[in-house]
């Protein structure tokens, strides 16, 4: 049986039923279940007690869903329906906006060239722009760069948009290959860059271009990294060389040509420009060495060197 809380106080142990509550503001107590029921002014029946939680039993005879939520509308709470009408004087602006929008099918993730000019871009699965959309001729390498706090950005006084610096030497993170920008107000504040990435100077300031270049695998223009294997020129010339100075330096063709002019050629096309010395034996150095000139053809002209055979045959044996 159900009853009001005022009656409970009078009778003490009566166990009321919640469905017996039919007046706004009335309460009932289930003594056995140790619960308190209350009917509010919207007709919502609340139960408090038992396991210590409060639940809504119903609102205007609408029961909760499986998640304990009660869904009501204007009709459920007795509100009157209203109809609102609005007049649209012109749809010209709306139509223009609709005509100017891109459909999903208009977006591209890979470019095939000028035919895709003006189309919107969809990033790849890795969140990057496909290389087919980048004109690499617009970028110009400048120099290596190592950002540090207080000096994170290269000087761009004489730079052009598209100039980029490749990152090397950063050792901030545990893997010793990345750096997070900290200078307040900088274009890249809070962003992280890794060795091999690029800092690009553009119309909107600084940007980061993710790279896969390992600087240790490339010969540096300043000569600070040595080759680790033979240099393969692929059949092409090495031009604009400076003349070698050390014995281990590469020699230019000009140096080789000049050196050859200092030697007699086998065809005899070069003329001696000094005395031919075949040793160090002189009057001043009697202990010096000397060498023969062998294989000499017999002289036929008075200016030619005679052979030893010609010399001894020219003498008549006898006493002089």
Question: Does residue 164 contact residue 139 with C-beta atoms inside 8 Å?
Answer: yes
pLDDT of residue 103: 86
Q: How many CA atoms lie within 13 A of 263 on its CB side?
A: 8
Q: Which residues have C-beta within 8 Å of that of residue 130, sequence separation ≥ 6?
A: 109, 110, 111, 124
Q: Which residues have C-beta within 8 Å of that of residue 148, sequence separation ≥ 6?
A: 179
Greatest mean pLDDT range, 31-40, 42-51, 121-130:
121-130
Phi and psi at 27, nearest 5°, equal -130, 155
- Tokens 């075949």 belong to residue: 278
Higher pLDDT, residue 280 or 51: 280
- pLDDT tens by residue, 226-245: 888 888 888 999 899 999 99
Phi and psi at 44, nearest 5°, equal -85, 130
pLDDT of residue 246: 92
DSSP letter (8 states) at residue 299: P
Q: Which residues have C-beta within 8 Å of that of residue 212, sequence separation ≥ 6?
A: 196
Tokens encoding 319 = 């006493």
- In this structure, the dihedral spanned by the alpha carbons of residues 55, 60, 64 and 68, taken in order and rounded to 10 degrees, is -30
Using CA atoms, how far apart are residues 190 and 144, in angstroms rounded to an integer? 21
- pLDDT tens by residue, 263-311: 777 777 878 777 777 776 665 556 666 778 888 888 888 888 888 888 8
- pLDDT tens by residue, 58-112: 666 677 777 777 777 767 666 667 777 777 777 777 777 787 788 888 888 888 8
- In this structure, the dihedral spanned by the alpha carbons of residues 280, 313, 320 and 293, taken in order and rounded to 10 degrees, is 0
Tokens encoding 285 = 């150095």
Phi and psi at 201, nearest 5°, equal -95, 120
pLDDT of residue 13: 42
Coil vs helix vs strand at 131: helix
DSSP letter (8 states) at residue 200: E
pLDDT of residue 148: 92
């Amino acid at each position: 049986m159900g009853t009001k809380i005022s009656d409970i106080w009078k009778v003490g142990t009566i166990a009321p039923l919640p469905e017996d509550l039919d007046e706004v503001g009335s309460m009932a107590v289930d003594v056995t279940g140790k619960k308190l029921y209350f009917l509010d002014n919207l007709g919502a029946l609340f139960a408090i007690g038992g396991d210590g939680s409060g639940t809504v039993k119903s609102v205007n005879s609408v029961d909760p869903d499986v998640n304990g939520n009660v869904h009501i509308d204007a009709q459920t709470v007795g509100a009157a329906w209203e109809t609102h009408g609005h007049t649209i004087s012109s749809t010209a602006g709306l139509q223009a906006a609709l005509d100017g929008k891109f459909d999903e099918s208009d977006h591209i993730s890979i470019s095939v060239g000028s035919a895709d000019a003006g189309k919107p871009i969809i990033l790849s699965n890795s969140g990057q722009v496909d290389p087919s959309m980048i004109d690499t001729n617009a970028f110009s390498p400048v120099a290596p760069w190592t950002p540090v706090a207080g000096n994170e950005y290269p000087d761009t006084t004489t730079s052009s948009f598209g100039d980029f610096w490749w990152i090397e030497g950063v050792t901030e993170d545990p893997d010793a290959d990345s750096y997070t920008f900290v200078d307040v107000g900088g274009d890249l504040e809070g962003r992280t860059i890794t060795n091999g990435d690029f800092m690009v100077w553009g119309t909107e300031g600084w940007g980061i271009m993710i790279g896969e270049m390992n600087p240790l695998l490339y010969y540096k223009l300043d000569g600070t990294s040595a080759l680790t294997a033979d240099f393969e020129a692929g059949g092409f010339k090495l031009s604009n060389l400076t003349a070698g100075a050390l014995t281990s330096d590469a020699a230019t063709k000009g140096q080789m040509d000049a050196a050859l002019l200092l030697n007699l050629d086998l065809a005899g096309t070069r003329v001696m420009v000094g005395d031919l010395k075949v040793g160090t034996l002189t009057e001043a150095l009697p202990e010096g060495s000397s060498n023969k000139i062998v294989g000499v053809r017999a002289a036929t002209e008075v200016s030619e060197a005679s052979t030893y055979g010609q010399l001894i045959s020219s003498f008549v044996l006898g006493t002089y």
